[in-house]
Structure 1
Amino acid sequence: MSQSPLNGGAGRGELLARVEHAPHPLRMFADASAHLHRLMPFDAAVWRVTDPETGIMTAPIHAENIDDKGCAAYWELELFAESVNLYSELAQAPVPVAGLRQSTGGRPGDSAIYQDFMVPRGLHDELRVVLRVAGRPQGTVSLFRAGARGAFDSRDTAFVASLVSPLAKRLRSYAEPRPAERIPYALGVPDGPGLLLFDGAGTLVSVNDEARRYLDELPEGPSSPTALGLRVPAWVQGITTKVRAAAHERDRGTARIRLRTRDGRWLVCHASCMRQADGSPGGSAVVLEPAKVSDVMPLVADAYELSERELEVTKCVARGLSTEKIAGRLFLSPHTVRDHIKAIFEKTGVSSRGELVGLLFIDHYRPALADGQDAQEENDFASITKR
């Protein structure tokens, strides 16, 4: 029987109020976990940010009472062996919260993660959560209980389900630009892409200096030691495991995530599987590099709750197009374009086109310019912000 001292709306309200004041996702996770533990006790937890387009975990990750190697082992099992409450399926479920023992009718042994991850660590049950809003996953949570506490019950599931949307919205909001923290984008950024090479078993075998510098700039979290003297973050292991699973036809989808450095700059991380001479899966390559404006804008648009059409209009504004040209390009009337721009101003809290572009395309969102397209973006940016 559950030992959860849930106290309804009061406890939920206090938790969400604390989350609202958290300055960044790691603090949000720590505060939410501490408060939730008082309302609904558990023995271990992992809170992860996910890329809303691919659903893959990214940085940061907050883990409690789970060994660092365990985070990588967990994801290996999830992608290669698990069949119960898969995150990819839970993200599409009517209620994105599920307890292992509830889902298996009291037969947790049906789960590979239970057998190979939980039992060795003395864990009895897991409650999985996908934090989603508007159909897009912003994060995932794993809560674990040891046997003494009993299994998660329907009351626990319902309470956590009531937190899904507000917690996801708060996670989404962290993509909003923070003007007070603007810094020159090129400062401290490596000249080239960071590259990490893994063998077929997922072991790091080579890394360039740029990758080490990128990793030094990212938030701390669970990581595994390597023979190269570099600790590999759990999210790097996760994206590497995903491409290996895809190569073995255990998974599908794009292995690509976006993440922020400690000083607020955006990076893109993507991975691909290498093939041997006979065509069989070999190792994998992971690349880290500065994000482009086009990489970040969908996240910023979500943070401000801009619609797809409003995002299209915003991109046109960033190009310096007039209302009439925007109308022609998007097959809208000038009146409709003006209505969209007004709505965009209200959502983002600005009062002019120049202020809008200055807010959304500040320096730490843009890499050093390298090609003609980026140069055109720079010219557009400069001409608009002078108006």
Structure 2
Amino acid sequence: MAESVLRSVAAEAATMPELGEALSAQLQRHVPHDGYILAGLDPASGIGCLIARRNCYSPAARYRLEVDGGGADPHRWDDLFAGGCPVAVKGSGFTDESRDGFLHGLMAEEGFGAELCLALVERGVPRGGLLLLRERGRQPFQETEADAAARLAGELAASVRCFVAGRLLRPPVPAAPPGVVLVGPDHRIRAATPAGRDWLRVLQRETAVGDDELDSMMLPVALAAQGRPTVTRVPTSVGWVVVDGQSVDGTGDVAVTIGLAGGATLLPAVAGWYRITARERAVVEQALLGLPVKQIARRLDLSPHTVNDYFRTIYRKTYVTSREELVSALSV
């Protein structure tokens, strides 16, 4: 599959569900499947920030996979991201059923017989994960199909990045003030402020999920926040949204704050998606402080000419035309 085809598909997709459908259609000729889950990861924190799915596990089953999977990741995504091979296949006739009893039991309950898990890594940076599903009774994924998927992993990762970075940065649309959602020890939403409910509806609209999937939208942050404060930044039609989770001392609850992202909170994710280098990012950080070019040059031990060269490169990568436009797009 030509790289230009996948990236063209990503550039034309207006929403994450559209991207999922388009990539799935392109993959059908190489790895036929009945359903999929496509996820994107915040490049700075590694926490999920984008999701698209069709004909996949029910919300209840996805909850069990995330929370009740025997205390371990049944898909072993960490191994796929860290290892030399980005693909793993599970299903009757391909892997040892006894090793993944929990997963295979759940697959059977949901009517699926095989999974193909693909880590989407571009130049060493995890961009997301793709889970392809085949219904029970069909032939499991074969080794040749796993090899084909592995060859496409880098291009698919680049497509997810291009979906985010293939459009210009723009100032956020006026929206609700930050809100708070309280997630209980059972990882279900217990309560929310009115603004928190507004932001849940924004995220729900962006991902086209049903009312029964609101808990699952908060799961990645809620689970990660049990060990440490964590954050993910989500590109939406109203601008970048930050989802920040922190555990509530002594209760088992996680308080999730949701609102528009900007400045130092937004920049790490934007740098990752738009492939802004560390030196370019340092220039942007100084620009966000309102410093003139000569002062930025002194602080970074660069010439003013070099600083202006960095700005021009940043404009090209982010599709903005001026420093004012760049700073406005990164501010709340």
- The TM-score by the shorter chain falls in which range? 0.7 to 0.9
Q: Amino acid of the residue matched to residue 326 of structure 2?
A: L
Q: 178, 187, 199: which is aligned to 1:202? A: 187
CA pair 13-312 structure 1, distance change in 2 beyond 3 A: closer
CA pair 344-14 structure 1, distance change in 2 beyond 3 A: closer
Shift of 1:340: 3.1
**2:207 aligns to what?**
220
Conservation of the 8 A alpha-carbon contact between 1:46 and 1:141 = yes
**Aligned pairs for 1:1-387 within 5 A:** 9=1, 14-78=5-69, 80-82=70-72, 84-100=74-90, 106-111=95-100, 113-176=102-165, 178=167, 185-186=173-174, 189-191=175-177, 193-218=178-203, 219-223=206-210, 225=212, 232-244=214-226, 246=227, 254-261=229-236, 263-276=237-250, 282-334=252-304, 336-348=306-318, 355-362=321-328, 365-367=330-332
Conservation of the 8 A alpha-carbon contact between 1:22 and 1:28 = yes
Partner secondary structure for residue 36 of structure 2: strand
Shift of 1:210: 0.8
CA pair 28-170 structure 1, distance change in 2 beyond 3 A: same
Alignment TM-score, normalising by the size of structure 2 = 0.84
CA pair 108-81 structure 1, distance change in 2 beyond 3 A: farther
Shift of 1:178: 5.0
1:118-169 deviation line (CA, Å, top 9, x unaligned): 1211322211122222332222111122343322233222222222222222
Conservation of the 8 A alpha-carbon contact between 1:348 and 1:356 = no
Query: Which is greater in Rg?
Result: 1
Shift of 1:268: 1.0
Take 1:220 and 1:63, find their aligned partners in 2: how far apart are those partners? 12
Q: Amino acid of the residue matched to residue 239 of structure 1?
A: V
Take 1:332 and 1:130, find their aligned partners in 2: how far apart are those partners? 39
Partner secondary structure for residue 138 of structure 1: strand
1:226-264 deviation line (CA, Å, top 9, x unaligned): xxxxx51522133223345x4xxxxxx653211133x23
1:62-91 deviation line (CA, Å, top 9, x unaligned): 23243233322222245x533554222322
Take 1:32 and 1:270, find their aligned partners in 2: how far apart are those partners? 30
Alignment TM-score, normalising by the size of structure 1 = 0.73
Q: Amino acid of the residue matched to residue 259 of structure 1?
A: V
Q: Amino acid of the residue matched to residue 34 of structure 2?
A: D
Take 1:190 and 1:340, find their aligned partners in 2: how far apart are those partners? 34
Conservation of the 8 A alpha-carbon contact between 1:87 and 1:130 = yes
Shift of 1:209: 0.8
Take 1:305 and 1:198, find their aligned partners in 2: how far apart are those partners? 33
Take 1:224 and 1:87, find their aligned partners in 2: how far apart are those partners? 27
Take 1:338 and 1:16, find their aligned partners in 2: how far apart are those partners? 30
Take 1:91 and 1:197, find their aligned partners in 2: how far apart are those partners? 31
Instruction: Give the share of equivalent positions with the same residue, in percent.
Output: 23
Partner secondary structure for residue 82 of structure 2: coil
Conservation of the 8 A alpha-carbon contact between 1:195 and 1:208 = yes
Take 1:16 and 1:266, find their aligned partners in 2: how far apart are those partners? 22
Shift of 1:270: 1.8
Conservation of the 8 A alpha-carbon contact between 1:131 and 1:165 = yes
**1:372 aligns to what?**
none
Conservation of the 8 A alpha-carbon contact between 2:122 and 2:157 = yes
Conservation of the 8 A alpha-carbon contact between 1:175 and 1:299 = no
Shift of 1:16: 5.0
CA pair 197-87 structure 1, distance change in 2 beyond 3 A: same
CA pair 26-66 structure 1, distance change in 2 beyond 3 A: same
Shift of 1:285: 2.0
Partner secondary structure for residue 108 of structure 1: coil
Shift of 1:317: 3.6
